[in-house]
Amino acid sequence: MARCASEGQGPDMSAGGRGPNMPNFYLERECRTPSSECYTILEDGSPVGRLDLHFTSSMVHATLVVAESLTQDSIQDLIEIVDEDVIDAVGVERDEFVVHVHQGRDLGVYTNPDFSQQGGNGHPPQGA
């Protein structure tokens, strides 16, 4: 069963109740607004993706970015988990759920004020 907790926590998407061959996903919430949520997706404790949810009056739009290592079956399982557990835990009524899936590798995290000064790990270089 999914559980939503405070900032930095998220629904536990472990295999419990889903069968022994299901991936062990955990979603850690990064931020929440009245109309959106952002999660880091962890599999067995390692980051494997990011989920951004945006809520309208009748739809939920999702952008799912996953690591190259995830299989199509794992991606489908993750979409089902988000649909059945995360959206239900948030308590949003919706008629349609649209998911845009992107698969690739993480290049880093860039922040203000000077995007060009970011290192490959998303942090300013040493001594900057």
pLDDT tens digits, one per residue of 54-64: 999 889 999 99
Residue 79 carries which side chain, given as an amino acid letter? I
- What average pLDDT does range 89-97 have in this prediction? 84
Domain of residue 43 covers 12-106
On whether residue 115 sits in a domain, the answer given is no
On whether residue 86 sits in a domain, the answer given is yes
Residue 9 pLDDT greater than 70, yes or no: no
Confidence at residue 14, expressed as pLDDT on a 0 to 100 scale = 42
**Which has more confidence, 126 or 78?**
78
Confidence at residue 125, expressed as pLDDT on a 0 to 100 scale = 53
Lookup: tokens for 25: 């996903």
Structural domains of the chain, count? 1
On whether residue 3 sits in a domain, the answer given is no
On whether residue 92 sits in a domain, the answer given is yes
On whether residue 31 sits in a domain, the answer given is yes
114: nearest Cα among 99, 128, 100, 101: 128
